[in-house]
Chains A and B, each alone.
Chain A
């Protein structure tokens, strides 16, 4: 059954390209919407046992693919489904050419297969392969923008991804040399042996993952890629691609016995904190809205990694929940940015102002998302950040917990600056005739804002269910 999560989108991809040109785009959007909705539904039903992917053992065993589904896999499926649906809607509203729209859906499906693979494979080489599948399709997605900015972003992403490839493959090769195996379990066993150099292999592999996640000091590509990419692509990338490519594997490491190793914990704490703080400071100084959101992503992914450094079960739950909350908030904020760009034709925040009056749905949903990411109660982001701080405190990392709280103040500062420059104040004469964006850009934004508020309000009831859910 698990294999369907790879082969159904693949089959759809092949069939779509065999259709007559006149119906291709409509069919592609419909197929994409159905597949992404199905993915999100499967993710929601999985933890309740209503979709028992692992239960169909005869079929699973009949295939030689070592695929496993767990709670973290569900998390990726859910984020991929929601962010994908949002990106699809943004694509329909912003892509000028039908041909580009069709190619976008195809590449979105390839990236979806890549992320499903990342969520289900367990050996480090297969993980690398699916990370590359996701990255390669993302390169081309960015290139759809075609302009100088798009190619600059693509170029930086490509070069740093190549570095990541070198790091990860060297890590896999060294692990193979030291242990004769490329599973995380083998790495954990070798890591625990005195005098073992498995840490070199793991460090290299981690560096590759840090590049893919855009963590400091490997964040050089992220802002340019997000800013230069078409609106739908940056929505998809910020919503799920970057996180699934870089962060999920780190979460699996934290889940394994390696997660309790002091050396790994220290590494994650340092990289997470540096990313959270540096990302927040970089976001503070931006004029371009998408650039500010991009640096905010660096900062929030730093939070997730920081949580993993706590090395406890609570920390993994906190990181997973922040992964989800940040995924929907960032997909929504990039949709808001797409709506503004669609109406104003600029992303320069110094030229904006008072847009909440002209674009009330965009303004209100953006307020919910920014305040949630900044960690204001009772929104979802408040609870996940509280859990991160609690996990750090309980694991004895009090100093890191205090830094996390202070960084949250920085997050609030740059998002309030965004709100003031974009949505508050009086409307500039230039934008007096501006109207709210179309339903393709407002409906997904409002829907995601409702999820952010709903999860926030229902969090005290959801948390016991999540904590009691075993994996």
Chain B
């Protein structure tokens, strides 16, 4: 079994875990793991730029999704934990089947597009790429995280006067 196959299996498992768990923290961690797996696969396939983009976007998206989901939910008792987990698994089991069928289908059909020719010069190291050419996007990511911090303040921190 090649490393790529293991990574693909881990990717599917991580995404399934994200979809089936109803504990928010686990869902956020699952999403992060899925993105990391995807980024590693992309990098391994020679798409360093896409890998970096996946990682950088992931950081912002997770914080937003995490904060907003928590804001829209309320704590539930844990008594029916196993029942709800089973219910989720029942709902989401078609996902890996669909993924498998689509994957097989795509591998049988030749790609309809011609990818752009690979650059003659070797691709820069991810660190070089990130810090030398995409600083503006990193700045954007910092701002997205800052918004997330304010989101936490808005949604969780109680007013000092006790009004909220």
Assess whether B141 is interfacial by the CB under 8 Å rule: yes
* Docked-complex contact A197 and B112, CB < 8 angstroms: yes
Size bracket, chain A contacts: 35 or more
| Chain A residues, Cβ within 8 Å of B146 | 13, 110
| Chain B residues, Cβ within 8 Å of A113 | 143
| Chain B residues, Cβ within 8 Å of A107 | 147, 150
From B49, B61, B146, B153, residue with most partner A Cβ within 10 Å: B146
> 1/0 per residue A427-471: CB within 8 Å of B?
000000000000000000000000000000000000000000000
Alpha-carbon distance A165/B61, docked complex (angstroms): 10
Which partner residue on chain B sits nearest A114 by CB separation?
Answer: B143
Which partner residue on chain A sits nearest B138 by CB separation?
Answer: A129
Alpha-carbon distance A375/B57, docked complex (angstroms): 42
* Docked-complex contact A133 and B140, CB < 8 angstroms: yes
Assess whether B154 is interfacial by the CB under 8 Å rule: yes
> How far in angstroms is the closest Cβ of chain B from A68?
12
Partner of A136, one of B53, B60, B72: B60
Assess whether A287 is interfacial by the CB under 8 Å rule: no
| Chain B residues, Cβ within 8 Å of A10 | 139, 143
Given contacts A136-B147, A140-B147, A176-B50, contact A121 B136 (CB under 8 A): yes
Assess whether A263 is interfacial by the CB under 8 Å rule: no
From B60, B144, B150, residue with most partner A Cβ within 10 Å: B150
Given contacts A126-B140, A129-B137, A143-B71, contact A197 B113 (CB under 8 A): yes
Alpha-carbon distance A129/B116, docked complex (angstroms): 24
**At the interface with chain B, which of A177-185, A253-261, A322-330, A403-411?**
A177-185
Which partner residue on chain B sits nearest A154 by CB separation?
Answer: B68
Alpha-carbon distance A318/B12, docked complex (angstroms): 50
Alpha-carbon distance A230/B155, docked complex (angstroms): 15
Alpha-carbon distance A72/B22, docked complex (angstroms): 46
* Docked-complex contact B116 and A178, CB < 8 angstroms: yes
* Docked-complex contact B113 and A177, CB < 8 angstroms: yes
| Chain A residues, Cβ within 8 Å of B151 | 139-140, 143
Given contacts A64-B132, A110-B147, contact A132 B153 (CB under 8 A): no
Mostly, the A contact residues are helix
Partner of A132, one of B113, B116, B117, B144: B144
Q: List residues of A (95-113) whose CB comes within 8 Å of B's CBs.
A: 97, 99-100, 103, 106-107, 110, 113
Alpha-carbon distance A113/B139, docked complex (angstroms): 10
* Docked-complex contact B140 and A130, CB < 8 angstroms: yes
Assess whether A144 is interfacial by the CB under 8 Å rule: yes
> How far in angstroms is the closest Cβ of chain B from A236?
14
Q: Please report A residues at the B interface, Cβ cutoff 8 Å.
A: 6, 10, 13, 64-67, 97, 99-100, 103, 106-107, 110, 113-114, 117, 121, 125-126, 129-130, 132-133, 136-137, 139-140, 143-144, 146, 151, 154-155, 158, 162, 165, 169, 172-173, 176-180, 197
Question: 30 A–B contact pairs at CB < 8 A?
Answer: A64-B132, A65-B136, A99-B159, A103-B150, A114-B140, A126-B136, A129-B141, A132-B140, A132-B144, A133-B143, A136-B60, A137-B147, A139-B64, A139-B68, A139-B151, A143-B68, A143-B71, A144-B154, A146-B154, A151-B71, A155-B68, A165-B61, A169-B53, A169-B57, A172-B53, A177-B115, A177-B116, A178-B113, A178-B116, A180-B117
Q: Please report B residues at the A interface, Cβ cutoff 8 Å.
A: 49-50, 53, 57, 60-61, 64-65, 67-68, 71-72, 112-117, 119, 132-133, 135-137, 139-141, 143-144, 146-148, 150-151, 153-155, 159-160, 163-164
